[in-house]
Amino acid sequence: MVQCTTSSSSSTEEVELDENIEDLDGIIGDGKGQFGDLVRDYGWKVRRMVEEQSEMRKVAQVQAEAFYVPVFLFNDLFFQFFQAEVLSGLLYKLRNSAPNRYACLVAESNTDDLESRHGLVGVVDVTALRDEAVLRHLSGAKEYLYVSGIAVLNTFRRRKVATALLKACDMVSILWGFEYLVLRAYEDDLGALKLYGNAGYIIVSADPPWMSTWIGRKRRVLMIKRPSSYSN
């Protein structure tokens, strides 16, 4: 957990993040024109994140709200620190990844109704990786596309946003030429397992007990999928 002292430390971190984002803007431009809309389905459209300040902050907010674990004291302050950590991690990945090795995908309404005013409603990360422990489950593959950080705002859950995001990951894997998509889920998260199973992912392994249950950590399963263009 992040240690905090006073609000001044939060302000200092905010200034540093602002400077990092401005530096990043100068390096990679506005990020437009990459892919276009990958998916238009279920009333949502999914595209690559525009790499500018307001959108990156919104992405961090969506993921922070999804993964933050509330605390009893100073909850708002701890949430601010957690959100800053999420944004810092996003900046790090953008700075240190080639455009065809990492992408942050965002979902928003595909209609002109009131929902379109909410802006981003869901987020997912895709990263090219080559972990040998994973590759042994992927016949003939030297790399794979890893899906992580999938998050949907509470008020938009159970409305196919996550399904649209996963379909967009399929499209990225095809565009980048990856034969396999890979993700991890907690073994006891039945909702997530059903979502991924319906999207075509299958379980191929799980964390060994000495890395999970024996030390008080929830056990994760490894799930893989081949996009439809590789399935025949």
- What separation, in Å, do the N-terminal and C-terminal C-alpha atoms of the chain show? 46
What would you report as the CA-atom Rg of the chain, rounded to the nearest whole angstrom? 18
- List the one residue out of 223, 229, 135, 120 whose CA is nearest residue 173: 229
Q: What CA–CA distance (Å, rounded) separates 127 from 115? A: 29
Residue 206: helix, strand or coil by DSSP? strand
Choosing from 102, 146, 180, 196, the catalytic residue is 196
For domain 7-231, the question of CATH label 3.40.630.30 is answered with: yes
Percent of the chain scored above 90 by pLDDT? 63
Give residue 25's pLDDT. Answer: 44
Q: Domain segments of the chain: what residues?
A: 7-231
- Tens-digit pLDDT profile for residues 66-105: 888 887 777 888 889 889 999 999 999 999 999 999 999 9
Compare 136 and 18 and report the one with higher pLDDT. Answer: 136
Q: Is the pLDDT of residue 35 over 80?
A: no
Q: Confidence band (pLDDT; 50, 70, 90) for 9?
A: very low
Place of tokens 């991690």: 89
> Which has the minimum average pLDDT: 6-20, 132-146, 176-190, 207-221?
6-20
Euclidean distance between CA atoms 75 and 227, whole angstroms: 41
How far is C-alpha 42 from the geometric centre of its chain's CA atoms?
Answer: 20
What percentage of the chain carries pLDDT values higher than 70?
81
Segment among 23-27, 75-79, 155-159 with least mean pLDDT:
23-27
Q: Which residues contact 146 (CB under 8 A, 6 or more apart)?
A: 126, 127, 128, 129, 181, 182, 183
196 in active site: yes
Task: Write the DSSP assignment of 18-42 as a string of letters.
Answer: HHHHHHHHHHHTT-TTSS-EEEEET
